[in-house]
Amino acid sequence: MKTVVEVEALRDGLQRWRSAGERIALVATMGNLHQGHLRLVAEARKRADRVVVTIFVNPMQFSAGEDLSVYPRTLGEDQQKLQAAGADLLFMPQIETIYPRGVAATTQVLVAESLSEQLCGLDRPGHFVGVATVVSKLFNLVQPQVALFGQKDYQQLLVIRRFCEDLNFPVQIVGVTTEREADGLAMSSRNGYLTAEQRVTAPMLYRQLHRLAKHLLEGYEPKQVCQQCEQRLNEAGFSVDYVEVRRASDLSADLSGTPPREWVVLVAAQLGAARLIDNILLADVVV
């Protein structure tokens, strides 16, 4: 696996593959790679001849006071993991390469507010503008035929799908099932912020989501079960930002006329220094 930092070197590598008619997949990451990222690489390998991975901790998607300065950076280990996973090219640009005019002076991609300015978009103002802007830049730089994103960041996945449709990016967006620890906790770089005690509490998030999802399939009222779930999590030491049931296709809060199997339950909660998010598609729940 080759590692490149400059755009010219990236383009040189890609050009050779493209002239040979090879199909290119992109896995965009912020590094500190775990099994969830490696699963994206494995899925990418099934769908393309060449897999490009990017590592870039994108300042535009962090609000003031968030964890940008302490976000874990583990480059050497990441490179080894990607090599072993069979990635072909790692692009890890400098901030100045992605934002030559500075972050604030860069053109931004604002995805339909009905989708991006709710849930995590409310708690993290500007977050999805930052995500959509950097991902669209990476799409233009790499020009992949297919790009893979984890379903753990479900709203992010829909935001990326939406801007690709709205702005006619010719990229197929594939969502990949959330990778979980043995106790159900969704894998995330931010799990590393948990203390040993909080790590024991953290899997409760998924257990409660699962319980809520089953109740919805049994016909309970979404509002009632969300409130109960939120209360249990707060009592256990979480500080819940939201527990919401939405239409899985577009995150609309209007569930009328749609069967529960077309819903998604989403949760975001702070536990100590970690903001954890998770979700369950009711279509995937076995009763």
Please state, in angstroms and as integers, the Cα–Cα distance from residue 180 to each residue in 13, 184, 203, 278, following that order: 34, 5, 10, 10
- Does position 78 interact with ligand PAF (CB under 6 A)? The reply is no
Question: Does residue 134 interact with ligand PAF by CB under 6 A?
Answer: yes
Among the listed residues 43, 78, 88, 153, the single contact to ligand PAF using CB under 6 A: 153
Tell me which stretch binds ligand PAF (CB under 6 A): 12-20, 22-30, 162-170, 213-221: 22-30
The residues that bridge with 264 in the sheet, in sequence order, are 246, 281
Contact pattern from residue 40 through residue 69 relative to ligand PAF, giving x for each residue in contact according to CB under 6 A and a dash for the rest = ------------------x--x--------
Q: Is 29 in the site for ligand PAF (CB under 6 A)?
A: yes
The order of strands in the sheet holding 274-281 is 239-247, 263-271, 274-281
176 binds ligand PAF (CB under 6 A): no
Of 34, 37, 210, 215, which residue is the catalytic one? 37
- Asked if 136 is part of the footprint of ligand PAF (rule: CB under 6 A), the reply reads no
50-55 sheet: strands from edge to edge? 2-4, 89-91, 50-55, 24-29, 146-150, 172-176
3-state helix, strand, coil in the chain (%, to 5): 45, 20, 35
119 contacts ligand PAF (rule: CB under 6 A): no
Give catalytic status of residue 210 as yes or no: no
Q: Among positive and negative, which fits the CA dihedral 111, 116, 122, 127? A: negative
Helix (H, G, I), strand (E, B) or coil at 91: strand
**Interaction site with ligand PAF (CB under 6 A):** 28-30, 58, 61, 131, 134-135, 153, 156
Q: Which residues are catalytic?
A: 37
